Structure 1
């Protein structure tokens, strides 16, 4: 009698790793922060922020009411959100990207 091959069942409970969600840091328009203050805060606290990008985002905040100034991991988003808030910028709550 010939031996039959061993068949292993498909795994039904595989572990699927999902990346952590990114979070958006959003600055809102207000009537008391100057363009210069907003742009300077963005350059001071957001890594890699250039002067041109900071001014473009500041204009977006003013003319469109808000701008996403950074997107990334929650822990860093919380830090940048807190730093910008402490400088007096009006911030939207963090939201998943």
Structure 2
């Protein structure tokens, strides 16, 4: 997981710190991607992913129909989502966490 940047707002002389929202990357089950390929994509595009975790997530995608594979700041989430989508994985739209 990544640290979430904060937004600083000024309100009537007070400084209010708010965190930017995190976003979830959700991979959906489909009938055309193989287990090894999904694992390969997760390892390639999701930072810090290891083989065991990629296998667990791929199993979850198969059994439950979807899995949250990464949560973090919007800009990074958009990049990883786009990379997985371009690789041919079936993706849910980005969601705020």
Pairwise same-fold verdict (TM > 0.5):
yes
Of Structure 1 and Structure 2, which has the larger fraction of its residues in strand? 2
Shift of 1:84: 0.1
> What is the RMSD of the two structures over their aligned residues, measured on CA atoms?
1.0
**Within 2, Cα distance between the matches of 1:27 and 1:90?**
6
Shift of 1:60: 0.2
TM-score normalised according to structure 1 size: 0.86
Q: Which consecutive unaligned segments of at least 5 residues does structure 2 have? A: 1-10
Shift of 1:15: 3.0
Map 1:5-20 onto structure 2 (within 5 A). 13=12, 14-20=14-20
Count of equivalent residues? 86
Q: Which consecutive unaligned segments of at least 5 residues does structure 1 have? A: 1-11
Task: Describe the SS at the equivalent of 1:59.
Answer: helix
Q: Which structure is larger by alpha-carbon Rg, 1 or 2?
A: 1
Match of 1:45 in 2: 45
TM-score normalised according to structure 2 size: 0.86
Match of 2:30 in 1: 30
Task: Describe the SS at the equivalent of 1:84.
Answer: helix
Shift of 1:82: 0.2
Q: Is 1:72 paired with 2:72?
A: yes
Task: Describe the SS at the equivalent of 2:30.
Answer: coil
